[in-house]
Amino acid sequence: MTEHDHPTRQREAFFGRLKGPRLRDRQQSLVDELLPRLAVDLSNPAPDDLSALFDGRGDGVRLEIGFGGGEHLHHESGRHPNMGFIGVEPFLNGMAKMLVALDEAPRPNLRLFDDDATLLLDWLPEASLSGIDLFYPDPWPKKRHFKRRFVNQRNLDRFARVLKPGAPFRFASDIDSYVNWTLLHCRDHADFEWPASGPDDWHLPYEGWPGTRYEAKAKREGRRPAYLTFRRR
């Protein structure tokens, strides 16, 4: 039987572009040489203890899905050197920006994945993550594209499977319809709760938040971000 006799899984939750403008020589070199050293390899079974991916760092493992240019992920992994971080970004140019940052300021506690996040979520062991961040995902604002939004019942099931009890799922967006969509989906999911008690719980950025270029653009254009935090029951 040849490899063509086996069906291969297609991307389930990434619908955007995979590439933008041509990479600079330095960026391409880092994609070719540094990314393979930092990439999570799904061809091997996941370790029972994810700290094995980070030389035994014992303060837990956090996942950021769609890190864009990597500003927040690079910042957070530097603030918490004893915690492991996994960053997902299928868009090649965003990954290249992160690799330049890591070449200049390495993070031994950071691993990367450059494909659909659902592949990684399905590979991870149960109750293995101390947090999931999803910041400024593509809002797919047209109603016919709502099914492409990353927040949906199936992906919340995935989050619930891999998050430890009490661990946060954090979601930030400047698009009101996506904020409301996420609130409704998490409200209707038995494994998540929204412990907010007042406007500061969604108007104020997260502790230590460095901001992102996308967020700065949204504010310039008059859109106010919301910062939601849900908890795994």
**What is the tally of helices (H) and strands (E) in the chain?**
9, 7
Contact at 8 Å (CB) between 202 and 228? yes
Active site residue 49: no
For residues 34 and 111, what is the distance between their CA atoms, to the nearest angstrom? 11
Q: Which of 103, 115, 122, 138 is catalytic?
A: 138
DSSP three-state, residue 111: strand
Helices (H), the chain: 25-33, 35-38, 71-79, 92-104, 117-123, 153-162, 176-187, 200-203, 213-220
DSSP three-state, residue 133: strand
Which residues are part of the catalytic machinery? 138
